Amino acid sequence: MEAKINKTHREGAVLFSPYDAGSSIKKALEVGRENILFEVRESKIKGRGGAGFPTATKWMLVAAAKADKKYIVCNADEGEPGTFKDRVLLTEYPDLVFDGMVVAGYTIGAEIGILYLRGEYIFMLEQLEDYLISMRQNNLLGKNILGKEGFNFDISIRLGSGAYVCGEETALIESLEGHRGEPRNRPPYPVNTGYMGYPTVVNNVETLASISKIITKGADWFKTHGTEKSTGSKLFSVSGDCKKPGVYELPWGTTLNELIKIVDAENTKAIQVGGASGVCIPKSQFDRQLSYEDASTGGSIMIFNESRKMLHVLKNFMDFFVEESCGQCTPCRIGNVKLLECVERIEKGEYTFSYINSMKDLSRTMQVASKCGLGQSSPNPFLSILENFKDEIFRSKENGVSHA
Amino acid sequence: MPDTIKRAPVSQQPFKVEKPQDLNTIGGMISIEINEKKVSVPLGTTIYEACKENQIHIPTLCHHPDLCIAGVCRVCVVEVEGMRTLQASCSFPITASIKIKTTSELVRKARRNIIDLLLSEHHGECYACVKNKNCELQTLAQEYGVDKMRYGHISAPIHEVDNSSTSVIRDMNKCILCRRCVRTCIDLQEVGVLEAISRGDKTVIGTFYDKSLQDVICINCGQCINRCPTGALYSNDPSDEIWQAIDDPTKHVVIQTAPSPRAAIGEEFGQPPGKSFTPELNTALKRIGFDRVFDTNFTADLTIHEEGTELLHRLKKALVDKDESVKLPQFTSCSPGWIKFIEHFYPEYLDYLSTAKSPQQMFGAIIKTFYAQEEGIDPKDIVSVSLMPCSAKKFECNRPEMNSSGFKDVDYGLTTRELGKMIREAGINLPELPKTGFDEPFGEASGAGLIFGATGGVMEAALRTVYELVTGREVPFENLRIEVCRGFEGIKEASVKLENVLPDYSFLEGVEVKFMVAHGTANAKQVMELLKAGKLSDVHFIEIMACPGGCLGGGGQPIPTSEEIRKQRAKAIYAEEEGLPIRKSHENPHVKFIYEKFIPEGPCSELSHKLLHTHYTKRGRYII
Ligand SMILES: Cc1cc2nc3c(=O)[nH]c(=O)nc-3n(C[C@H](O)[C@H](O)[C@H](O)COP(=O)(O)O)c2cc1C
Ligand code: SF4
């Protein structure tokens, strides 16, 4: 699989365009903190990890916080099913990512950066460590970076152990502190009480890589890509029923129709946008745009053609959540089990519509009452698949057939 | 392994908001809206607290006043205008002018759904449960009008009940994963036996390698039981065996009652905390059928003699003989939870413990030896029961070394809750009973023995006696109240100077006796770390109780518990003691009698060592 991903045609206007290692750090040190913050804010970049929070706001909060220590954490947990774009960035563009971390560290006043690497990515650990050594040799890390008196910064890499929920930023911090990876209550947010209780910025790999480009090429250039509200371009990890799966850099605003042409997909019935916790979009809505304001995603795009049974697809997702819920809060821990049960009962034809409605009602509770994004979004595929594919799923019952 | 166990995973300290000293300064108070009513609350108050202040009851399950916030059960969610999701009111600090809705449709539906979800996985048969009518889940279901099991109901238990422990039983079929027990064990007590294991739908509360409770480093304090909202944790109840003994005409069944249960048992009968029912309880016990009812305070007085003498011996060896092998400070040994704690966590410091048995065990030994002899009863026919506030007492009475007469010193440790059940079973309404005294020959006990029930009590009792023994004068405190020993501060420290001492104690002239009092094993751990670091070399005597508040907060006491309730119980104990005629252990005539008649060589003599002292076991942290 790896060979295939790496062979996939990837030209891109922003991230996958030429870059001189270290150049964003150099520029950042020249222009100073205020100007970096200004540039990042002007670029209107939002987080690439899924939640889409404005990066500049996050940075400003930590930059303004009064604390003895601050941290920048790069979230490389990449656990959302169907996402593999951070892997490409880390293996082929570590300069963009690490430079972005140094810039962030300089801007917010951190001396330590931590890369939280997905456990399954241990294969790239040595290569990344080697890269960090070379950065230290070139004084891109260490003391008085690039001669900037008093700017000390270094990066360490920590490995996760394979829990999806550890991609959630507060669970990630818990895990870094040596606890069970379980999300915290917010407030307080990590920008206030993060790693070891200090103000912490957690950013996705791609967000930090984009920062390197914004700093070197400017916010105005960045904004020439994408839409008004979703600026820049995005890496999409495309998998499923298509001839050219892989990682693509496309401007925000690309429609699903355009996307399936690019990846050469045929007879497409549905596209799951945003991974397991995203929504499932039917063919009739393929004119929708990939963007924060329309079909939002941290990068995962899964394509399903006419041969796929959507109930089966849904069951897979619900199985995933039942297992990957951290298990601390009631709506998610038990709710997902009930939703999975519901899918199984639909499969067997053992349901009434009032039962289905009570499950939709439960989904709504999970969305608003769960403690973290996992439980808040796990009903998404349940609701969107049952809604968008009701003809396919419930047809069998009406015909008196017991198989969906 | 680090020495200080870290906090429980879900535990969160409340959001630190810098509050202005003076709430009247701008920003000190924040005006908010609760259900369209404008109110003003101090900055940083949680939504839950704000609602409580304004007479709105928000349901909770994982929240407990003694514990860090967790925000896991989610039944306390409320709507905050402008926020996408509902917020857990127990953990949400108010820092801005928010508008809160506590009963909107979204909130009502969410709460009801959450309760229904919990019920679907809770295999509890209410009528067969120890917590029937005192279960927070049951109450919630009732308050929220649960009328059917909307999400089904688990039909059979799926977890084996762990009843391996002499003290604490765990039935995970009733567990709702609120993690109060985990937070109690890790944060409050810093023992760390219980932890959430696995994730998702497999999440359970378990132990190290999922071993049974008897095979891990549980100290039996039962604090987890006191905070469990359901019946998933309860104590190992011997009341059936006790009933059988009472029914058996060949058995002579005696019971000793400790002070704390007497100050709390009223709560089992709907009384507010803070009232002692000692004489009514005596009547109830007689009516149930116990042959004799004794007061554990009697052996508390005896403990003071033994432990006080031991301390004076140690001081003499250290100060006069310059014996460097003498271990000081001397630690009290009355609390079996503390004993097991030190055996597991600080086994190299066991020599610092007083070798005196706890009052329960001393009484046990005396009943089956001197009392049996005096009354002409074969000790094998005596069934000795002790009413204790404590689940660890059950473990203590089963220690193999506790058999001075050749039989178990104490046969059954019964908790306040368990006795409450027996009294109800007997059709007795305790508060309305007439009053009776304790039985001879141990009828009277001193107030000093009584205050053993509150943290600092043993120290206060010991000081009253030791000071007077050494100087010939009463302790220099008004009405014998040694206030420095009282109150719920985690670790207390003070000293008294010995001046103009009696000739026998000339080696103590001018000595400043320093002492400390700690309650709760988290505080005990801090004391032990100080000792380890060599910072307690000038301290002579330390009282430690395993439970928060001392025995009155024990793991066998009525549920619920909170600092407020524990304070009330302490009040009851101190009030009762001031009314007693004898308030110093050494003035107890029955104790004098025991020594004269049976242990003429006096405290810490060979015979007293055989009967009234014990030894400890180096257990360590890893049980293999
Ligand atoms: C269950 C769950 C899993 C997540 N997994 C990831 C992940 O693997 N990588 C990631 O960057 N963000 C993940 N997030 C989002 C993070 O919580 C956080 O919003 C993000 O790291 C912030 O970075 P950004 O602002 O640069 O996007 C996850 C969120 C949830 C709720
Ligand atoms: S929503 Fe799920 S994953 Fe998130 S805290 Fe609750 S149980 Fe854990």
What is the domain-level CATH number for residue A96? Answer: 3.40.50.11540
Choosing from B185, B334, B390, B485, the catalytic residue is B334
Taking alpha carbons only, the member of A219, A217, A250 closest to residue A16 is: A250
**A162 lies within 8 A of chain B by CB:** no
The CATH number covering residue A390 comes to 1.20.1440.230
Residue of B151, B187, B198 best to disrupt the A interface, most CBs of A under 10 A: B151
**Whether residue A51 has its Cβ less than 6 Å from ligand 1:** yes
Per the annotation, the verdict on B386 as an active-site residue is no
H or E stretch including B294? strand B292-295
How do residues B387-419 score in pLDDT, each as one tens digit? 999 999 999 999 999 999 999 999 999 999 999
Are A58 and A158 members of one domain?
yes
Any domain includes A97: yes
Query: For residues B238 and B243, what is the distance between their CA atoms, to the nearest angstrom?
Result: 9
Are B42 and B98 members of one domain?
yes
**Residue B519: strand pairing partners:** B545
Any domain includes B130: no
Interface of B with A in 253-292 (CB under 8 A): none
Are B203 and B252 members of one domain?
no
**Whether residue A328 has its Cβ less than 6 Å from ligand 2:** yes
Residue from A169, A182, A338, A340 whose mutation best tests the ligand 2 pocket (most atoms within 8 A of CB): A182
For residue B9, what pLDDT is reported?
80
How do residues B417-429 score in pLDDT, each as one tens digit? 999 999 999 999 9
Range of the domain at A150: 14-223
| Strand order from edge to edge, sheet including B87-88 | B37-42, B29-34, B99-101, B77-80, B87-88
Per the annotation, the verdict on B334 as an active-site residue is yes
**Whether residue A207 has its Cβ less than 6 Å from ligand 1:** yes
Any domain includes B132: no
Choosing from B396, B418, B444, B577, the catalytic residue is B396
B114: chain A residues, CB-CB within 8 Å? 330-331, 365, 369
For residue B49, what pLDDT is reported?
95
Give A185 Cα–ligand 1 centroid separation in angstroms.
16
Are B399 and B539 members of one domain?
no
Return all residues near B485 (Cβ < 8 A) that are at least 6 apart: B456, B457, B459, B460, B463, B492, B494, B517
Query: For residues B306 and A212, what is the distance between their CA atoms, to the nearest angstrom?
Result: 75
The CATH number covering residue B291 comes to 3.40.50.1780
The pLDDT of B431-440, averaged and rounded, is 96
Flag if A335 and B117 touch (Cβ within 8 Å): yes
Per the annotation, the verdict on B418 as an active-site residue is no
Q: How many domains does chain A have?
A: 2
Are A213 and A326 members of one domain?
no
**Whether residue A86 has its Cβ less than 6 Å from ligand 1:** no
Of A178, A179, A334, the CB nearest to B117: A334
Read off φ and ψ for residue B375, nearest 5 degrees: -90, -5
**Which of A223, A243, A258 is the last residue in one of the domains?**
A223
Q: How many CB atoms lie within 10 A of CB B243?
A: 16
| Token couple for B22 | 């003076």
Any domain includes A300: no
A338: chain B residues, CB-CB within 8 Å? 117, 120, 151
| Token couple for A392 | 């396919």
Any domain includes B157: yes
Taking alpha carbons only, the member of B574, B598, B559, B575 closest to residue B265 is: B559
pLDDT higher than 80, residue B284: yes
Q: Which amino acid is at B580?
A: L
Are B598 and B503 members of one domain?
yes
**Which of B378, B401, B432 is the last residue in one of the domains?**
B432
Query: For residues A169 and A204, what is the distance between their CA atoms, to the nearest angstrom?
Result: 10
Give B86 Cα–ligand 2 centroid separation in angstroms.
14
Give B157 Cα–ligand 1 centroid separation in angstroms.
38
How far B48 CA lies from chain A's nearest CA (Å)? 14
> Would you give the DSSP letter of residue A109?
T
For residue B554, what pLDDT is reported?
98
Q: Which atom of ligand 2 is nearest to the CA of A171?
A: 5
Whether the CA torsion A233, A238, A242, A246 is positive or negative: it is positive
How do residues B125-161 score in pLDDT, each as one tens digit? 899 999 999 999 999 999 999 999 999 999 999 999 9
Any domain includes B144: no
Interface of B with A in 99-128 (CB under 8 A): 106, 109-110, 113-114, 117-118, 120-121
Instruction: State how beta strands B252-257 and B292-295 pair.
Output: parallel
How far A114 CA lies from chain B's nearest CA (Å)? 21
Flag if B201 and A323 touch (Cβ within 8 Å): yes
Closest-CA residue of chain B to A377: B85
Q: How many domains does chain B have?
A: 4
How do residues B216-255 score in pLDDT, each as one tens digit? 999 999 999 999 999 999 999 999 999 999 999 999 999 9
**Whether residue A378 has its Cβ less than 6 Å from ligand 2:** no
How far A345 CA lies from chain B's nearest CA (Å)? 13
Instruction: Using CB atoms within 10 Å of the CB of residue B211, give its burial: 0 to 12 exposed, 13 to 18 middle, 19+ buried.
Output: middle
Q: What is the pLDDT along chain A (404 residues), one digit of tens a residue?
A: 333 444 455 668 899 999 999 999 999 999 999 999 999 999 999 999 999 999 999 999 999 999 999 999 999 999 999 999 999 999 999 999 999 999 999 999 999 999 999 999 999 999 999 999 999 999 999 999 999 999 999 999 999 999 999 999 999 999 999 999 999 999 999 999 999 999 999 999 999 999 999 999 999 999 999 999 999 999 999 999 999 999 999 999 999 999 999 999 999 999 999 999 999 999 999 999 999 999 999 999 999 999 999 999 999 999 999 999 999 999 999 999 999 999 999 999 999 999 999 999 999 999 999 999 999 999 999 999 999 999 999 975 554 444 43
Are B572 and B617 members of one domain?
yes
Are B327 and B383 members of one domain?
no
Are B488 and B451 members of one domain?
yes
Q: How many CB atoms lie within 10 A of CB B575?
A: 13
**Which of A207, A223, A239 is the last residue in one of the domains?**
A223
Residue from A59, A60, A75 whose mutation best tests the ligand 1 pocket (most atoms within 8 A of CB): A75
For residue B12, what pLDDT is reported?
80
Give B200 Cα–ligand 2 centroid separation in angstroms.
8
Are A72 and A200 members of one domain?
yes
The pLDDT of B79-107, averaged and rounded, is 96
Any domain includes B145: no
Residue of A172, A322, A328, A341 best to disrupt the B interface, most CBs of B under 10 A: A328
**A363 lies within 8 A of chain B by CB:** no
Flag if A365 and B110 touch (Cβ within 8 Å): yes
Any domain includes A338: yes
**Which of A172, A207, A223 is the last residue in one of the domains?**
A223
How far A190 CA lies from chain B's nearest CA (Å)? 12
pLDDT higher than 70, residue B206: yes
Range of the domain at B477: 310-356+446-622
> Would you give the DSSP letter of residue B59?
P
For residue A396, what pLDDT is reported?
59
Are A217 and A316 members of one domain?
no
